[in-house]
Amino acid sequence: MKLLKHSAFGIMAAAVAVTGMSVSADAQYFKGKRVNIIINYGAGGNTDIQGRMVMRHMKKYIKGDPRLIFRHVSGAGGVVGANFLGEAGKKNGTMMGVFTIPIMSQVMKAPELRVDLSAFHYVGAIGQQTIGHIRKDAIPGKTIKGYKDLISNESHPIRTGGHGPSSSKDLRTRLLFEAMKIPLKHVTGYKSGGKIRAAILKNELDMTADSLAGYYGRVVSQLIKPGISVPIWHIGTPGPNNTILHSPTVPKGIPSFQEVYEAKFGKGARPDRLVWDSIRTIGMSREMLRILVFRKGTDPKAVAEMRSAWDKTMADKAFRADYARVNGSAFTGKSGAEAQKYIKSIVSVPKDLEKFLLDYADAARG
């Protein structure tokens, strides 16, 4: 995604139009204050890695030089942290979420998500793909070298892991395997990507998917280079004519899910409509995988100051270089005003898709 350039006036005008709040920043608003940064996944996970890296760069642009304190409020695929911020978060600007967005819980109106994600005040967002990887010895008697070795398996269950039945990771994993007609044994409830990777290292699980931050920051060194696992696919970017295109942020050697699906079932082939639409919806959510947010009703001056700091961070060459080093790809992101608008475009889906996803998640709760 091309980073949009805004004048200071343009950013303020967009914020007023989208959120209806005053956006006059106060240079001394955060002076002497401590800001709690809520991470909605466990320590050492992908959200933690990226969140700390982002805030390290952003801090130098927050006027008043507040002290940043990181807190982990994890569980239910990021939902626990979102509920905590939305229900108990302070409105004086001293509590901000740096989340992996639990977007599918809102899309399907899952009961465990008690807050409206579109009602948060968005400071900014980061788009990022996820790469699936599997142990080479996941199928007895075979060494998996690439996706072709996996898609021919129709008898041995692949052990996969997730965070919670309504999380994007769980839904994505189950949907992709069902579409490919590959048997799996899915275990959920892991508090972070790091916990899942540890289970793969101990040969308790075979496969998962990690964001680019987790893949290049941890998976490559822990699993790929030692020869334990190989990359299989990435979900891809929804395109025209019911397609899911190869993401430009992912190497060509790691195919999109559509490429893998068509390799097995033929060019132009698609699974059941609701399965495919679900996968495309999850793909859309990758455009703002990480979000920086305040709870509804937060002091507009705090939101405006953090938005200003985020806009400066997005344009910072040192941040972009660090991001590329950690994530293995160029930065793609959204301003607060852009994210505020985009969230509303992806939380509303047709009723039959909403029901399908909720029933699909419920089927994994038993």
Q: What is the DSSP letter of 45?
A: S
Q: pLDDT-based confidence at 11, cuts 50/70/90?
A: very low
Q: How many alpha carbons lie under 13 Å from residue 227 in its C-beta half-sphere?
A: 1
Q: Per residue in 212-223, pLDDT tens?
A: 988 998 999 999
Could you give all domains of the chain from N- to C-terminal order, each with its CATH number? 8-127+285-361 (3.40.190.150), 130-284 (3.40.190.10)
Q: pLDDT-based confidence at 28, cuts 50/70/90?
A: confident
Q: Is the pLDDT of residue 19 over 70?
A: no
Q: Is the pLDDT of residue 92 over 70?
A: yes
Q: What does the block give as tokens for 176? A: 């992709």
At 10 the pLDDT is: 39
- E strand or H helix at 97, and its extent? strand 95-100
pTM comes to: 0.82
Specify the range with the lowest mean pLDDT, choosing from 15-19, 73-77, 246-250: 15-19
At 327 the pLDDT is: 87
**Number of CB atoms found within 10 A of residue 360's CB:** 21
Task: Provide the total of helices (H) and of strands (E) in the chain, helices listed first.
Answer: 14, 13
CA 128 to chain centre: 7
Q: What is the average pLDDT across 57-73?
A: 97
At 26 the pLDDT is: 63
Rg value, the chain, Cα: 20
Q: What is the average pLDDT across 306-311?
A: 98
Mean pLDDT taken over the chain? 91
Q: What distance in Å separates the CA atoms of residue 181 and residue 202, rounded to the nearest whole number?
A: 26
Q: pLDDT-based confidence at 44, cuts 50/70/90?
A: confident
Q: pLDDT-based confidence at 45, cuts 50/70/90?
A: confident
Provide the 3-class DSSP secondary structure of residue 68. strand
At 21 the pLDDT is: 45
Please choose, from the candidates 288, 294, 297, 6, the residue with its C-alpha nearest in 3D space to the C-alpha of residue 123: 294
Q: What distance in Å separates the CA atoms of residue 218 and residue 326, rounded to the nearest whole number?
A: 10
Q: Is the pLDDT of residue 198 over 50?
A: yes
Decide if 96 contacts 81 (C-beta within 8 A).
no
Q: What is the average pLDDT across 272-301?
A: 96
More confident residue, 9 or 31: 31
Q: Is the pLDDT of residue 14 over 90?
A: no
CA 254 to chain centre: 19
Q: What is the average pLDDT across 122-129?
A: 96
Q: What distance in Å separates the CA atoms of residue 126 and residue 287, rounded to the nearest whole number?
A: 7
Decide if 294 contacts 93 (C-beta within 8 A).
yes
Decide if 322 contacts 60 (C-beta within 8 A).
no
Q: Is the pLDDT of residue 78 over 50?
A: yes
Q: What is the average pLDDT across 334-357?
A: 93
At 8 the pLDDT is: 37
At 25 the pLDDT is: 54
Q: Is the pLDDT of residue 252 over 50?
A: yes
Cβ-proximal residues to 223 (8 Å cutoff; 6+ apart), any chain: 133, 135, 197, 200, 201, 229
